[in-house]
Chain A
Amino acid sequence: MQNNLKALTVLFFLLLFFALIVGCSDNGTSSEETEQETELKDPSEVGYPESLTYWAELNGNAAQTAQTLNDVRAYQVMEETTGTTIEFKHPSGEGTDITEQFNLMLASGKLPDMIEYNWRTVPKGPDNAIEDGTIIRLNEIIEDYAPNLNQYLNENPEVKKTVTTDEGNIYTFPFIRGDEKLMVFMGMIIRQDWLDTLDLDTPTTIAEWEEVLKAFKTGDPNGNGEQDEVPLLVQPDDFKNIGPFVGAYGIHAQFYNDNGTVKYGSIQPEFKEFLTTMNRWYEEGLLDADFAAMDGKLVDAKVTNDQLGSLFGYTGGGIGRFTGLMEDHPTFELSATPHPALEEGGIAATAQKAFPHEGYHSVAISGQAENPEEIAKWLDFAYSEEGHMLFNFGVEGESYEMIDGYPTYTEEITNNPDGLPMSNALGKYIRANYGGPMIQDVRYVEQYLDLPAQKEAIEIWEETAENNINMPPITMNSDESDEFNSIMSDLDTYYDETVIRFIMGDEPLDNFDEFVATLEGMGINRAIELQQAALDRYMAR
């Protein structure tokens, strides 16, 4: 028996050894493959590829009717035109689920031909992804094989600046918002019918907001005899990343650009004033007691239960969607309010306003793709006149008709026979309503926002914030973003908890100085320096 045991042990270690060898050699080959070819083909010889693999999130608007993007009409037509079959790989879930699957895909070393993601914010940054061969530099390829995109970028140097890194690399086929009107889509939304019932004016300053919220709380505007109204709902991430009410104090909660100097809003004394106000509103029951742990369903429930007085939301997914959901309510009416200012006649320093290109929904060609030139040609189709119409309006005769030279959505979209909401009906045909590697057309949004309140919203939100301090879409190099991320990941966890505790009153505001000191101890000043360096380079581009 002793012999058996010994032999077994030997066998065991032998197998272990082999397993290790196999593991090693796998790694060896995959890192060799990532070396890219430098020789480019003659543009005139390049055709559309036969088949491609494409990793992309399947947006909820499309997922309603499509299993993969191949079920979306625009891609079906594109396949007929180009002869290219696409094998889509869709990660499941949303939000962090996508991040998780993206990171694991990169770690697995097996990459599809095209990867759609926000490459601007990947760990270590886009330049590093190009350097280590995960994706390829596109400048030359776009010049030679993507004439339509190339032309657009050359005609719009401001856009070109945002799609290029500091090292001069273009790294994706970008999602571009083609018009100013497409860049403002979030702000404070209020129950106009409640204002009317209580005979109140639209609030424009923090003080007026407080009055209105108090009236909502006590005046029983929903008329059910109970004090069940929730006057205000803003989620912590919105305070933090976009800045409703924060903007009134002249700052942004995160990094902002004060005339070329980067500052971090939450360590400024103004942020304490903001927290004091929010804390008071929370204590008085004006700010929703559940604001700290919200999800879409809970927000929906509060709106549809006729309880919510005002919220921070979208023109489409907020005003449009809730108006649709509350169709049967006799008086339900939402309207956009100006971004709150601190004083009468003042203006908010910051609010939601997107840049033409921020990185989302943009497609990079992976370093393992065998025919980048052909892929570029395929991707360029969406930026051509034909592709532009296809991805913004769908198929003529099906989803739109040309009326006096204006592509008008048909009933199929605006009043879907299967009862689909407009956003989902659009998702069945196009990608303009959520984004993709294409140029978004303003004529889409003009029709998508069919309610007068929505059209007004864009104008009101555009006018009532300066947006001069907003941070442009900067990029960091690999070392910087390594250091920045390692500072910010712990710092953000601490920040998120503590800000919520300040607002909920679990942490007295007298401790604000300690909060600032802790952030400084965690390295916020170094993070500011890193942002400053990136901003300086961005300005110099």
Chain B
Amino acid sequence: MAKLEKEVTSFNSKPKNKMNSFGEKVIKDFKRNKVIYLMVSPVVLYYIIFQYGPMYGLQIAFKDYTPALGFLQSPWVGFEHFKEFFNSFFFWRLLKNTLLLSFYSLLFAFPAGIILALLLNEIRGGIFKRSVQTITYMPHFVSLVVIVGILFDFMARDGVVNDILVFLFGGEPIAFMREADWFRTLFISSDIWQNVGWSSIIFLAAMSNVDPALYEAAKIDGAGRLKQMWHITLPGIMPTVVILLILLIGKFMTVGEEKILLMYNPTTYETADVIGTYVYRKGILESNFSYSAAVGLFKALIAFTLLVIANSIARKVGDTKLW
């Protein structure tokens, strides 16, 4: 850094360069900091190729795109596709399902990681703690296809879960995977099962940063385990929780479409069909690319708005924020 600053000062001390055009400055700067540019280039390239590049194609949301004509030649249709979607028979159902699934996973799946971390934190070391941690985060690495396969098997009319339920409580077996009412419960709870261990890791890391002296002091003041958790651990990890929550809200409308695609069927469309799966069916299966691009854009706009709102709330309420 010292060297860099020195060069910057020497750069400023040359009065001749002051009048140079912006372009020359860029070239100068590039020459001087070659290595730094080199280092940053993969990241920049990643964003250009995979994040900004594809945005060029977003224009088809306002066009009547046909592959044979390409992006540029396809005729403009303005907001036609958006109108069609807002007037679509399924618009409200898709919106409701998407929001509800997101909301439930925020309500149940997000705290689950915190709770597991809090519980684990109370166990003082030992094999038990480590094995619980390992076992709970293992499912995260299992492929989604396998998870849903297991789900279908266990939840079938003649599956393990029904066998146990019928044995304990009697009654008729329930075809869980074919009941629209059960879809959200199964979706969220299997998600918790798969990811709770993984999401607890980051909170455990945050907890290990809490100053042990605080616990000592609290103990001397006569605070029990629960009080310590409530007044020291939780406030200690709050910044992490808030940041993660904001990030999660940014992904609010993205509810794990791959998993829904694997899980749903016409009997559960009523609760399972979300914007993402609709985009897949419309765009990829019916090759209605323009329409599904418009629907996807609409979804992204909602998510972006939510992110801005969440961030400004976090700003007002506390000091933690994204920007």
Interface residues of A (CB under 8 A from B): 1, 3-4, 7-8, 10-12, 15-16, 19-20, 23-24, 27-28, 30-31, 34, 96, 99-100, 103-104, 106-109, 123-124, 132-134, 236, 289-290, 292-293, 485-486, 489-491, 493-494, 496-497, 500-501, 504, 518, 521-522
Q: A103: nearest residue on chain B (CB-CB)? A: B287
> Is B70 part of the contact surface with A, judged by Cβ < 8 Å?
yes
**A-facing mask of B259-281, CB < 8 A → 1, else 0?**
00000011101100100000001
Provided the pairs A27-B72, A109-B70 are in contact, do residues A7 and B30 lie with their beta carbons within 8 angstroms? yes
Provided the pairs A20-B56, A106-B67 are in contact, do residues A485 and B286 lie with their beta carbons within 8 angstroms? yes
Indicate if the CB atoms of B265 and A486 lie closer than 8 Å: no
> Is B213 part of the contact surface with A, judged by Cβ < 8 Å?
no
Indicate if the CB atoms of A19 and B89 lie closer than 8 Å: no
Indicate if the CB atoms of A496 and B266 lie closer than 8 Å: yes
**Docked CA distance A518–B72 (Å):** 38
Indicate if the CB atoms of A107 and B287 lie closer than 8 Å: yes
Distance in angstroms from A6 CB to nearest chain B CB is: 8
Further contacts, 14 of them, CB under 8 A, given A23-B53, A28-B72, A500-B266: A3-B8, A4-B33, A11-B44, A23-B56, A24-B72, A27-B72, A123-B287, A289-B175, A293-B178, A293-B266, A486-B288, A486-B291, A497-B269, A500-B267
Indicate if the CB atoms of B89 and A494 lie closer than 8 Å: yes
Indicate if the CB atoms of B269 and A490 lie closer than 8 Å: no
**Docked CA distance A497–B89 (Å):** 14
Indicate if the CB atoms of A12 and B44 lie closer than 8 Å: yes
Distance in angstroms from B182 CB to nearest chain A CB is: 13
Provided the pairs A10-B26, A15-B44, A489-B281 are in contact, do residues A292 and B68 lie with their beta carbons within 8 angstroms? no
Distance in angstroms from A517 CB to nearest chain B CB is: 13
> Is B320 part of the contact surface with A, judged by Cβ < 8 Å?
no
Indicate if the CB atoms of A497 and B266 lie closer than 8 Å: yes
Q: How many residues of B contact A (CB 8 A)?
A: 48
Indicate if the CB atoms of A104 and B284 lie closer than 8 Å: yes
Indicate if the CB atoms of A289 and B157 lie closer than 8 Å: yes
Indicate if the CB atoms of B269 and A290 lie closer than 8 Å: no
**Docked CA distance A206–B241 (Å):** 63
Indicate if the CB atoms of A3 and B25 lie closer than 8 Å: yes
Provided the pairs A15-B48, A16-B52, A500-B266 are in contact, do residues A8 and B89 lie with their beta carbons within 8 angstroms? no
> Is B193 part of the contact surface with A, judged by Cβ < 8 Å?
no
Interface of B is mostly: helix
Indicate if the CB atoms of B266 and A7 lie closer than 8 Å: no
The residue in B68, B157, B286 that gathers the most chain A C-beta atoms within 10 A of its C-beta is B68
Q: List 19 A-B contacts (CB under 8 A).
A: A7-B29, A11-B26, A12-B44, A19-B52, A19-B53, A23-B53, A27-B72, A103-B284, A106-B287, A108-B67, A133-B68, A290-B157, A292-B267, A293-B178, A490-B89, A496-B269, A497-B267, A497-B270, A500-B266
Interface of A is mostly: helix
Q: What 9 pairs across the A-B complex have the smallest Cβ distances?
A: A132-B68, A27-B70, A103-B287, A496-B266, A7-B29, A107-B67, A293-B265, A7-B26, A123-B287
> Is B285 part of the contact surface with A, judged by Cβ < 8 Å?
yes
Indicate if the CB atoms of B29 and A489 lie closer than 8 Å: no
Indicate if the CB atoms of B267 and A293 lie closer than 8 Å: yes
**Docked CA distance A528–B30 (Å):** 66
Indicate if the CB atoms of A132 and B284 lie closer than 8 Å: no
Pick from A8, A23, A24, A99: contact of B285, CB below 8 A.
Answer: A99
**Docked CA distance A437–B117 (Å):** 62
**Docked CA distance A493–B270 (Å):** 10
**Docked CA distance A100–B157 (Å):** 31
Q: Which residues of A contact B56 (CB under 8 A)?
A: 19-20, 23
Indicate if the CB atoms of B269 and A493 lie closer than 8 Å: yes
**Docked CA distance A236–B157 (Å):** 19
> Is B71 part of the contact surface with A, judged by Cβ < 8 Å?
yes
Q: A34: nearest residue on chain B (CB-CB)? A: B68
**A-facing mask of B158-180, CB < 8 A → 1, else 0?**
00000000000000000101100
Q: For chain B residues 179-202, which have a beta carbon within 8 Å of chain A?
A: none
Q: Which residues of A contact B289 (CB under 8 A)?
A: 107
**Docked CA distance A27–B8 (Å):** 44
> Is B96 part of the contact surface with A, judged by Cβ < 8 Å?
no
Distance in angstroms from A289 CB to nearest chain B CB is: 7
Q: Which residues of A contact B305 (CB under 8 A)?
A: none
Q: Which residues of A contact B265 (CB under 8 A)?
A: 292-293
**Docked CA distance A493–B286 (Å):** 13
Q: A24: nearest residue on chain B (CB-CB)? A: B72
Q: A27: nearest residue on chain B (CB-CB)? A: B70
**A-facing mask of B24-60, CB < 8 A → 1, else 0?**
0110011001001100100011001100110010000
Q: A496: nearest residue on chain B (CB-CB)? A: B266
Q: A109: nearest residue on chain B (CB-CB)? A: B67
> Is B211 part of the contact surface with A, judged by Cβ < 8 Å?
no
Q: Which residues of A contact B67 (CB under 8 A)?
A: 106-109, 134
**Docked CA distance A16–B48 (Å):** 6
**Docked CA distance A4–B5 (Å):** 12
> Is B304 part of the contact surface with A, judged by Cβ < 8 Å?
no
Q: Which residues of A contact B266 (CB under 8 A)?
A: 236, 292-293, 493, 496-497, 500
Q: Which residues of B contact A23 (CB under 8 A)?
A: 53, 56, 71
Q: Which residues of B contact A521 (CB under 8 A)?
A: 89
Indicate if the CB atoms of B48 and A31 lie closer than 8 Å: no
Distance in angstroms from B94 CB to nearest chain A CB is: 11
Indicate if the CB atoms of B88 and A490 lie closer than 8 Å: yes
Pick from A4, A132, A134: contact of B29, CB below 8 A.
Answer: A4
